[in-house]
Structure 1
Amino acid sequence: MISISRIDKALRSRGKPMMLALAAFSLLATAGCSQKVSRPACPAGKICLQVGNGSEPASLDPHKSTGTWEDRIISDLIVGLTTSDIDGKSIPGMAERWTSSPDGKTWTFYLRDAVWSDGAPVTADDFVFSLRRILDPKTAAEYASLIYFIKNAQPVNEGKLPGAELGARAISPKVLEITLEHPAPYITEVAKHQTMLPVPKHVVEKWGDAWSQPGHYVSNGPYMLKSWTLGDHVGVVKNPRFYDAANVCIDQINYYPTNDAIGAERRVLRGELDMNADIQSNRIAFLRERMPEYVHTNTYLGVAYLAFNASVPAFKDKRVRLALDMAIDREFITGKLLRGGQTPAYTFVPPGVANYTPAAPPVWSTWSLEKRQAEARRLLAEAGYGPKNPLKIEIKHRNSPDPMLFMPAVQADWKAVGVDTALMQNETQIAYAAYRSRDFQVADAAWIADYNDAMSFLYLQQSSTGSQNYGDYKNPVFDALLAKADNEPDVNLRAGYLAQAEQIMLDDATVAPVFFYVNKNLVSPKITGWKDNLVDHHRSRWLCMPRTTG
């Protein structure tokens, strides 16, 4: 176990309040109260996998899901035009091959012979139907803006054009043509994302939104949905009609919500779970000593950040946003609290993104904490806040492991510059629902790249993005630079426009980046086929375990 006295000593050495140590102690203490769930029986001769999946899925409909915890299940059920290989790289999925026009605006996908789990053929019309469905305003898909690069996607999503005007058509049952607004060489990356996954037209037309419930769910991937018990688990079984079923090893999978990461690690040790899709960061070093063969960490394209709600009067003043941004002690959070390999974030786009050099970090990022705090107090005073009129705000945050650790640190940092900060923790799903409805003042959020490109991060702050632009940031110059980048075929010029856009966003302090992620998994050494990768995709079709003998 981690020594509480060592945590307290480290915290005190940096002048952080004792409440951070108490928060750490609380996390450790509550872990001992985790509900014990025994491993379910696996039929003789079968291979069964028990997965700790982080959070409870809100939906298994790809057009109504947004979380990585949902993606892990859905991508085992449904395969898009492309899919992820063992390294997380895009490979052919439903499309065996594809071509693009010289101007990069017309893509033609040639589908393989494949069927849905009920035996109906997978056709180009399923993809056309699905793209129109996610963009239909009635679907209210918060991820719809991700595919605005498809011709007429935005006006269709805004109800200004009918779905028939979307740039997607079935040339034949096995040939799909997608026309774009501008070149988007990353389309093969987005094609494996839930926004472009197909849904079975014949089933959705019969059952409506209820199609994604057990008993109605029809899939084209390696697994079929068998059961879903809310708060307990989602169960899937091998799909014998999957085009590569002969090479799928695991027969059954149960995915469990595991918000209590310490409880989950104990269940992995006991053999109740075979893996868990998270590790509490400050326990990585301890676990590497106790169970080194289980611990997997890797560079990840993700950022944790705080979003400022533009409708809050105080946040209309850039000086306030900037003061809060510069007052955060990111080095303490990553080096003394999390200790999992995360790095301080002073830009929004993580290092390592393909074909991109991030914008320069702000000048103040090189200052000492004391100098930053003094400047933050000065900015707040200029904006009218001080001892006689303290700024009072609330941070709404997720109850997942890392936010539970570093939110009290942010609270302490802001208290040090005279800001009275309350913390309101929510279950992850509920927190993000609040962010989307703008029911927050400051939102603790995180973003993992949907595809390996800077646009996957920067588009979040685009005024047209909608619900996922949590703070409702609007800057026409920023928008114009993103549009210019969209229409620039030269990779280097495009990267320059994106970097200019990121610089404007950082100067506006519309969000406060906190740290860049690493992906963290506990994986039983019994599992074979696991490969750490940049996007943290570990599709179950590539995994295997020893077969049950009893």
Structure 2
Amino acid sequence: MRPLILACLAILGFALAGCQDKVRRPACPAGQRCFEFGLDLEPATLDPQKANLISESWVIGDLMMGLTTEAPDASPAPGGATSWETSPDGLVWTFHLRRDARWSDGVPVTADDYVFGLQRLLDPKIASIYAYLAYVIEGGQAISEGKAAPSTLGAKALDPYTLQLKLAHPAPYLPELTKHQSFYPAPRHVVEKYGDKWVTPGRYVSNGPYRLVSWRLGDHIGLAKNPAFFDAAHVCFDRVDYFATPDAISVERRIQRGELDATNTFLSNRITRLRSVMPGYVRTHTSLATLYMSFNRAVPALQDLRVRRALSQAVDREFITGKLLRAGQQPAYAFVPPGVANYPGGARTVWAGRPLTARQAEARTLLAQAGYSPGRPLKLEIKTTNNPESLLLAQAVQADWRAIGVDASLVQNDGPVAFSAYANRDFQVGMMVWYADFNDPMTFLGLLKSDTGAQNYGDYRNPAYDALLDAADREADAARRGQILARAERLMLADEGTVPIDFTVNRALVNPRITGWVDNAENFHRTRWLCPR
């Protein structure tokens, strides 16, 4: 099966490369500078408090800005706030806002807009998939669960330009968290007027370097420089066009022809060819991201630890990373990737280090103990997105599971459809990548907390795990906190709470004429820092 997968990979690449594109670079108005970007997925929303996909984050990050923002290297830098200080116990943060900050319609951005944004994030009617991130703020969880009024949130406008956040527990990573789109301000004067339709062109107002001018589904999203942005004089590109182009081979050719300037991914197995035919374009960097699979615990078979362990240890991670992907990905036997700040690491699956053949033999034994046999095979469905790399990964796992007697079928959906299905638990086994929302182990481990909600796709629940995460939240000493979190990860891995497959590598194609692109582990590259050479 593996040679077949590799053959399919080669055939797919040649077939896609043979397609003919008719799209050409959009005309750039005379005297302006334009940046054309290829996204891997079509955004489903540009509402900061509702967004979920990485493709959405790329666009929203050009339109909006939080209290902090990404510097060129993605480290936290002053954004909507010029400075901040914390109380000695780390529970009260006071942010001093820019007095020259304006929404794109000229209305001042005030502390009330940040409070309103956080209240929207936690509003049960909004049902934000990222609401759990704001549980760090006092009263946040109770509001999200409908047990308290929004006014009880520990976010207060002390005056128009001073915001106070009272936390439920110390969070030294808060400046990392406030970069995230879910913490962006929301323009109350527009949202209350238009409701959910405020995110459409002509109504959308932004506080970032760009404003929304057009959005044609299936075509592109057009942005123009925001003259009301406080640093507009230093924003190089006058216009940004985001094209949703899931066909990775098509994107390659369009960049090679100069129709697009950059894209946020490419097929891993094509890296050698790309470096040959497009010298200077290929950008890779160690990523704070993990490719993994989730088991839907509503499926009776997947409630059995023996079944989950058999399925996880049968996956040949070395083949996937070394032969199938080949762009520097590393086999993952843990969930938190190497290099995450404030973390000692060291957690691994209980069976890590054993040869694949021994793992396969044990997997067959575990399945037999769970009541499955050649005459009564375990049947499962793997649901994934419909890009070529996801298909090949799913086929590899399908082959590995077939080797231990599991009958797995594959279902592919468009990206937004697949993630909607995961959130609604309309899947048995799902395949996804988690990119760190902020540089701290909690962005990974917090996903599997029982009260996280939709993004705990497998509904992993273990009171002991939750207790360890709560203890880590209360621990002020960074080293002791890291050790507690490592204990939690070991416990989750022993439960086979998820199936880590590989530690991902950031991959991008960037025209060498673009300057200011700084490779970084968090993989944030805001257009305001980019310029044409």
Q: Does TM, normalized by the shorter one, top 0.5? A: yes
The offset of 1:255, in angstroms, is 0.1
Name the counterpart of 1:457: 444
Per-residue CA distance 1:407-434 (angstroms, 9 max, x = gap):
1111100000000010111111111100
SS at match of 1:234: strand
Cα deviation, residue 211, structure 1: 0.6
| Cα distance in 1, alignment partners of residues 472 and 261 from structure 2 | 44
Residues 49-68 of structure 1 aligned to structure 2 (within 5 Å):
49-68=35-54
Deviations 1:82-110 (A, max 9, x none): 00011111100010000100000000000
Aligned pairs for 1:131-280 within 5 A: 131-280=118-267
Give, in whole Å, the separation in 2 of the partners of 1:271 and 1:288. 16
* CA distance in 1: counterparts of 2:380 and 2:230, whole angstroms: 54
Counterpart of 2:66 in structure 1 is 80
- Residue 400 of structure 1 is matched in structure 2 by 387
* 1:90 aligned residue (76, 83, 86): 76
Shift of 1:492: 1.0
CA contact 2:350–2:494 (8 Å) conserved in 1: no
Q: CA deviation at 1:18?
A: 1.8
Structure 2 residue runs without a partner (length 5+): none
CA distance in 2, matches of 1:28, 1:382: 45
CA distance in 1, matches of 2:14, 2:133: 39
Measured in 2, the distance between the counterparts of 1:363 and 1:319 equals 13
Contact 1:529 1:542 in 2 (8 A): yes
Contact map agreement 1:349 1:458 (CA 8 A) in 2: yes
Displacement of 1:124: 0.3
Q: CA deviation at 1:360?
A: 2.8
Q: CA RMSD in A?
A: 1.1
Alignment of 1:332-347 (within 5 A): 332-347=319-334
| 2:286 equivalent to 1:299 | yes
Q: State the SS of the aligned residue for 2:116.
A: helix
SS of residue paired to 1:352? coil
Residue in 1 that maps onto 2:26:
40
The one-letter code matched in structure 2 to 1:120 is: V
Equivalence for 1:6: none
After superposition, residues 11-26 of structure 1 pair within 5 angstroms as: 16=2, 18-26=4-12
**Are 2:415 and 1:415 equivalent residues in the alignment?**
no
- The residue type equivalent to 1:97 in the other structure is S
Q: What is the aligned partner in structure 1 of residue 365 from structure 2?
A: 378
Aligned residue pairs total 532
Which residue identity is paired with 1:270?
Answer: R
CA distance in 2, matches of 1:250, 1:90: 23
Query: What displacement does 1:34 show?
Result: 5.5
Is 1:532 matched with 2:519? Answer: yes
CA contact (8 A) 1:20 1:409 kept: no
Verify the 8 A CA contact 1:153 1:166 in the aligned structure 2: yes
Could you give the per-residue CA deviations for residues 139-174 of structure 1, whole angstroms, max 9, x where no partner exists? 110110011110000000010000000000100000
- Mapped to 1, the partners of 2:17 and 2:300 lie a distance apart of 39
- Secondary structure of 1:137 counterpart: coil
Residue among 29, 41, 58 paired with 2:15? 29
What is the letter of the counterpart of residue 330 of structure 1? R
| 1:324 and 2:311 matched | yes
Q: Find the counterpart in structure 2 of residue 513 from structure 1.
A: 500
2:371, 2:143 → 1: CA distance? 45
Distance in 2 (alpha carbons) for counterparts of 1:127 and 1:374: 55
Give the secondary-structure state (helix, strand or coil) at the position aligned to 1:282.
helix
Q: Which amino acid aligns with 2:390?
A: P
CA distance in 2, matches of 1:19, 1:336: 10
- Contact map agreement 1:82 1:94 (CA 8 A) in 2: yes
Q: CA deviation at 1:292?
A: 2.1
Deviations 1:184-241 (A, max 9, x none): 0111111110110011111111111111111100001100000000000000000111
CA contact (8 A) 1:359 1:500 kept: no
In structure 1, C-alpha distance between the alignment counterparts of 2:428 and 2:89, rounded to whole Å: 44
Q: Partners of 1:331 and 1:208 in 2: how far apart?
A: 49
| 1:367–1:401 CA distance, 2 compared to 1 (3 A) | same
Matched, 1:448 2:435: yes
> Which one-letter code corresponds to 1:437 in the other structure?
N
CA distance in 2, matches of 1:414, 1:169: 53
Whole-angstrom distance in 1 between the partners of 2:436 and 2:20: 32
SS of 1:381's partner is: helix
Tell me by how many angstroms 1:285 deviates.
1.4
Rounded to whole Å, the distance in 1 between the matches of 2:279 and 2:331 is 26
* AA in 2 matched with 1:133: R
**Alpha-carbon deviation of 1:33?**
2.6
Q: Which position in structure 1 is the counterpart of 2:343?
A: 356
Counterpart position of 1:111: 97
Give the match's secondary structure for 2:102.
coil
The 3-state SS of whatever aligns with 2:334 is: coil
Within the alignment, does 1:435 sit opposite 2:422 as a pair?
yes
- The aligned amino acid for 1:397 is T
C-alpha distance in 1 between matches for 2:278 and 2:388 = 19
Give 3-state SS (helix, strand or coil) of 1:148's partner: helix
Q: Which amino acid aligns with 1:82?
A: T
Q: Please state if 1:466 is matched with 2:453.
A: yes
1:536 partner letter: N
Q: How much does 1:17 deviate?
A: 5.1
Q: Is the 8 A contact 1:20 1:408 kept in 2?
A: no
User: Tell me, which stretches of 5 or more residues in structure 1 are unaligned?
Assistant: 1-14
CA distance in 2, matches of 1:76, 1:117: 13
Change in Cα spacing, 1:28 to 1:509, as seen in structure 2 (3 Å) is farther
- SS of the aligned residue for 1:171 comes to strand
**What's the offset of the Cα at 1:27?**
4.4
